[in-house]
Amino acid sequence: MGRPVAVFIYITLALLLLLVLRGHHSPGSRNLHHRRLKLRSNFSFPSPTPSGDHRIPFDPLIADIELRREDREWERSHFEIPSAPGEVAQPEWEDFADAEDYINDEERFNVTGRMFLLFPRIDVAPADGFVSLEELTEWNLQQAAKEVMHRTARELEAHDKNRDGFVSFAEYEPPSWSRNDNTTFGYEMGWWKEEHFNASDLDGDGLLNKTEFNDFLHPADSSNPKLMKWLCKEEIRERDKDKDGRLNFQEYFNGLFDSLRNVEEASNHLANSDEARANILFQKLDKDNDGFLTEDELMPVIGNLHPSERFYAKQQADYVLSQADADKDGRLSLSEMIEHPYVFYSAIFNEDDDDFDFHDEFR
């Protein structure tokens, strides 16, 4: 699309925004910002297991506020920063009353205005005046990547004892809860151990740089083939009851199939039982037809066993589109986004004021 056409589109959108804003502030108009926005009041710091929280903030401004808040909570928990003598400890949200006041002050944080500012940043492929599922997925993925890399940098700084910008295996300390509970997911496998570390060390220098350390913490999002193979090996190791280094059908059916039900071959409705559906996929994966699955044969479905951020970014985009696409044309206009702000800001709306719970959609 030529630049003049794109300019025309956004001039039109600007005029639309003015009309919308006037409508929202006119007497008797419906106030879209009808629920109080709340920042998340607590955080569970992510671990490299499949059980993390994958909600993605839509608005970078909100994400920045929450990350700064998270950083302070992380510093307090990690470094055990004491309160000043005589100081009464306050709930964490008290420290951020000004931030919550800010995002609920329409003069300073206007949700409609934010939609207008963000819309052209999302509508880029092409800039045609509509946000597609693909564009929204990419936007979500970008926001998730920023959060993940921010947390990785924070973790790297904590483990980098000699301050050289790298983490060695000797420097790395696994999560304390994993050391205290050897039955926790991942510990009996190879998570946080030397084989996991070495698989993340793409250049083989014995040290993890920021990118490699991010892969170490979040292997599902890595493009490192060594790490992908390590994930496959760990899946087999955890479920390999007879310890022969491969999975027979029963080991696969009892241990893996529940996570693979959405794979096309496993959702064959012509099969009349779970075991029959599982067998269809097993035969598809068993390339050498020897009746066992090896590390290499698990590679095609490792993304199903360990979903990446892209999976969650699309899942969230699918949900948003289903809720905000009023005319059901498979894309979002600016007016549709403005008319459905709760869908985009649902992670921070005070859900006590409404029966709607965005998070239930992902359970």
Between 183 and 240, residue with greater pLDDT: 240
Q: What is the pLDDT of residue 15?
A: 58
| 84-129 confidence digits (pLDDT tens) | 555 544 444 444 557 778 888 888 888 899 999 999 999 999 999 9
Residue 231 has pLDDT above 50, yes or no: yes
Q: Where residue 212 falls among pLDDT bands split at 50, 70, 90? A: very high
Asked if 316 contacts 344 with a C-beta cutoff of 8 angstroms, the reply is: no
Calculate mean pLDDT across residues 245-262.
Answer: 94
Mean pLDDT of all residues belonging to the chain? 80
359 confidence band (pLDDT: 50, 70, 90)? very low
**Residue (of 348, 361, 353, 299) closest to 38 by Cα position:** 348
pTM of the model: 0.79
Q: Which amino acid is at 185?
A: F
Separation between Cα atoms, residue 353 and residue 151, nearest integer Å: 31
| Ramachandran assignment for 29, one of left (phi > 0), alpha (psi -120 to 50 degrees), beta (any other) | beta
Q: What are phi and psi of 173, to 5 degrees?
A: -120, 120
Radius of gyration of the chain from Cα atoms?
Answer: 24
* Position 5 confidence tier, pLDDT thresholds 50, 70, 90: low
In the chain, the percentage of residues whose pLDDT exceeds 90 is 54
How would you classify residue 35: left for phi > 0, otherwise alpha for psi between -120 and 50, otherwise beta?
beta
Place of tokens 């869908």: 343
Report d(CA 76, CA 74) in Å as an integer: 5
pLDDT value of residue 107: 82
23-41 pLDDT, tens digit each: 554 443 444 445 677 766 5
Q: The tokens of 126 are what?
A: 């092409």
Question: What pLDDT score does 109 carry?
Answer: 84
Grade residue 8 by pLDDT with cuts at 50, 70 and 90: low
Taking 50 as the threshold, does the pLDDT of residue 351 lie above it?
no
User: What's the mean pLDDT in 199-227?
Assistant: 97
Return the number of other C-beta atoms located less than 10 Å from residue 299's C-beta: 15
pLDDT tens for each residue of 276-301: 999 999 999 999 999 999 999 999 99
Helix axes 133-159 and 309-324, enclosed angle (nearest 10): 140
pLDDT of the residue at 33: 45
Residue 195: which residues within 8 A CB-CB, separation 6 or more?
230
The average pLDDT across 65-72 equals: 86
What mean pLDDT is predicted for residues 249-272? 84
Confidence band of 191 (pLDDT split at 50, 70, 90): confident
Could you read off the pLDDT of 318-350 as tens digits, one per residue?
999 999 999 999 999 999 999 998 889 864 444
CA–CA distances in Å: residue 118 to residues 71, 113, 156, 227, 282:
25, 9, 31, 35, 45
Angle (CA) 139 262 216, round 5°: 55
Q: What is the pLDDT of residue 18?
A: 54
Average pLDDT over residues 62-73: 86
pLDDT of residue 100: 77
Cβ(325)–Cβ(348) under 8 Å?
A: no
Q: Which residues pair with 37 in a beta bridge?
A: 349
Residue at 70: amino acid letter: E
- The confidence score (pLDDT) of residue 65 equals 87
The 10s digit of each residue's pLDDT in 121-141 is 999 999 999 999 999 999 999
**For the chain, how long is the longest CA-to-CA vector?**
74
Residue 47 has pLDDT above 50, yes or no: no
